[in-house]
């Protein structure tokens, strides 16, 4: 059976709460906006797409070998930003300051999954967490004003990598944890 899957670094709940509080304080209540739910906020390390569910065990064994070599990651948020396509806003994100070990981890996962036949990522890895997918009817300018906000230093330790299933529903995507892996403390 085919399922849609991705690998992600989970962000501690209290750190996400701080970012969402800043977001809400800076732009207030805004209509016609469907923010990503806090429970769904993560840093995607590798999008797998449609996979054969019988391979989850092999993918998990592969991930476990990689994760076992890494310590918890000390990270911090950098800025709010947007991705655009043809002058249209597509995604509002919160970035992370560059972290060599996190980039190594993402690259190692990308390379190892190429051995399973997954295409290697062609774009540079952008350390970001998607906060909003623009649908075209939001007050874009008000939302994009977040990109001018100077963030306070918010540091945190991340130590959980999860293999997620993603189901696409009319109401949006729903994530289910298939397997969790823990970086060493």
Calculate mean pLDDT across residues 16-43. Answer: 93
pLDDT in tens, 53-63: 999 999 999 99
Q: Which residues contact 70 (CB under 8 A, 6 or more apart)?
A: 101, 105, 183, 184
Determine the pLDDT at residue 90.
95
- HSE-up of residue 8 (Cα within 13 Å, Cβ side): 21
* Confidence class for position 74, pLDDT limits 50, 70, 90: very high
pLDDT in tens, 91-136: 999 999 999 999 999 999 999 999 999 999 988 888 999 999 998 8
Determine the pLDDT at residue 138.
87
Integer Cα distance of 21 and 80 in angstroms = 13
Q: What distance lies between CA 23 and its chain's CA centroid?
A: 17
What's the total number of domains in the chain? 1
- Residue 36: is its pLDDT beyond 90? yes
CATH of residue 41's domain is 3.90.1140.10
Q: What is the 3-state secondary structure (H, E, C) of the chain?
A: CEEEEEEEEECCHHHHHHHHHHHHHHHCCCCCCCCCCHHHCEEEEEEEEEEEHHHHHHHHHHHHHHHCCCECEEEEEEEEEEEEECCEEEEEEEEECCCHHHHHHHHHHHHHHHCCCCCCCCCCCCCEEEEEECCCCCCHHHHHHHHHCCCCCCEEEECEEEEEEEEEECCEEEEEEEEEEECEC
- Residue 142: is its pLDDT beyond 90? yes
* Confidence class for position 185, pLDDT limits 50, 70, 90: confident
Domain span including residue 92 = 2-182
* pTM score, whole prediction: 0.94
């Amino acid at each position: 059976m085919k399922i849609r899957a991705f690998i992600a670094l989970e962000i501690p709940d209290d750190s996400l709460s701080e970012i969402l509080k800043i977001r809400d304080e800076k732009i207030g209540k805004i209509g016609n906006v469907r923010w990503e739910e806090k429970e769904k906020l993560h840093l995607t390390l590798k999008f797998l797409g449609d996979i054969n569910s019988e391979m989850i065990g092999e993918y998990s064994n592969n991930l476990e070998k990689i994760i076992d070599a890494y310590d918890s990651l000390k990270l911090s948020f950098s800025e709010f930003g947007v991705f655009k396509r043809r002058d249209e806003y597509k995604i509002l994100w919160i970035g992370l300051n560059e972290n060599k070990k996190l980039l190594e981890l993402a690259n190692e996962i990308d390379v190892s999954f190429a051995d399973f036949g997954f295409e290697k990522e062609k774009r540079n890895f952008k350390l970001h967490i998607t906060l909003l997918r623009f649908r075209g009817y939001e007050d874009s300018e008000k939302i994009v004003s977040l990109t001018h906000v100077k963030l306070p230093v918010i540091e945190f330790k991340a130590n959980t990598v999860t293999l997620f299933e993603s189901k696409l529903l009319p109401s949006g995507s729903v994530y289910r944890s298939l397997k969790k892996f823990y970086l060493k403390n």
